[in-house]
């Protein structure tokens, strides 16, 4: 790329604020669940599996929901499985596929970690915004994500957590 349209001073300040916000958010989410030996991506895997009830999720579907590559998800699920929080079983309709399910121990771990995660969300974001501002933040995030997906022709969905 030979030339790019540089950011204005205001755009640059907003961009830097977003970078710091995202960094602090991720660091905080990791800190919230680290007392349980989890990372925030581990926690996200547990949340998505809990929402799937007993049906579980195909590994490919789970990878798209947690926004990681299949190989990174496999590593993460390997670790959770070794701890007895998740099980993987062959998919009955596709011999090549696997279904991940939360174990009772995984549900218990999620139940223990969830209050810390939720309090972290409140402390880091919600207490600094009124209800309308928080909803607007979500709307703006979805708008940007929708634009990115359309540009990438990506079918990854936002899942409410």
Look at residue 62 in the predicted model and tell me its pLDDT: 94
Number of domains in the chain: 1
pLDDT tens track for 6-64: 999 999 999 999 999 999 999 999 999 999 999 999 999 999 999 998 889 999 899 98
Question: What single DSSP character describes residue 125?
Answer: T
Domain around 66 = 20-152
When pLDDT is cut at 50, 70 and 90, the band that residue 153 belongs to is confident
**% of the chain exceeding 90 in pLDDT:** 74
Is residue 157 within 8 A of residue 63, CB to CB? The reply is: no
Q: Would you say residue 8 lies in a domain?
A: no
pLDDT over 80 at 160, yes or no: no
Q: Would you say residue 15 lies in a domain?
A: no
Q: Would you say residue 75 lies in a domain?
A: yes
Q: Would you say residue 5 lies in a domain?
A: no
Q: Which residues of 110-133 are buried (b: 16+ CB within 10 A; e: fewer)?
A: beebbebbeebbeebeeeeeeeee
Q: Would you say residue 14 lies in a domain?
A: no
Estimate the share of the chain in helix, then strand, then coil, as percent rounded to the nearest 5.
65, 5, 25
Q: Would you say residue 34 lies in a domain?
A: yes
Q: How far, in Å, CA of 5 to CA of 61, rounded?
A: 37
The two three-digit tokens of residue 95, written as one number = 């011999």
* Mean per-residue pLDDT, 98-116: 97
Q: Would you say residue 160 lies in a domain?
A: no
pLDDT tens track for 67-82: 788 889 999 999 999 9
Look at residue 1 in the predicted model and tell me its pLDDT: 67
Look at residue 40 in the predicted model and tell me its pLDDT: 92
Q: Would you say residue 32 lies in a domain?
A: yes
The CATH code of the domain that includes 67 is 1.10.10.10
Look at residue 157 in the predicted model and tell me its pLDDT: 52
pTM reported for the whole predicted model:
0.83
Look at residue 115 in the predicted model and tell me its pLDDT: 98
Look at residue 161 in the predicted model and tell me its pLDDT: 42
pLDDT over 70 at 159, yes or no: no
Q: How far, in Å, CA of 10 to CA of 17, rounded?
A: 11
């Amino acid at each position: 790329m030979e030339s790019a349209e540089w950011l204005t001073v205001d755009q640059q300040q907003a961009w830097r604020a977003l970078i710091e916000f995202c960094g602090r958010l991720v660091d905080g989410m990791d800190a919230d669940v680290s007392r349980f030996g989890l990372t925030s991506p581990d926690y996200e895997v547990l949340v998505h599996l809990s929402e799937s009830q007993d049906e579980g999720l195909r590994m490919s579907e789970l990878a798209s929901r947690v926004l990681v590559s299949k190989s990174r998800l496999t590593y993460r699920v390997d670790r959770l499985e070794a701890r007895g929080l998740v099980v993987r079983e062959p998919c009955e309709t596709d011999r090549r596929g696997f279904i991940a399910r939360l174990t009772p121990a995984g549900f218990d771990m999620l139940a223990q970690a969830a209050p810390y995660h939720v309090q972290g969300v409140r402390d880091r974001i919600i207490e600094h915004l009124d209800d309308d501002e928080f909803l607007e933040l979500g709307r703006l995030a979805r708008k940007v994500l929708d634009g990115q997906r359309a540009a990438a022709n990506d079918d990854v969905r936002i899942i409410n957590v």
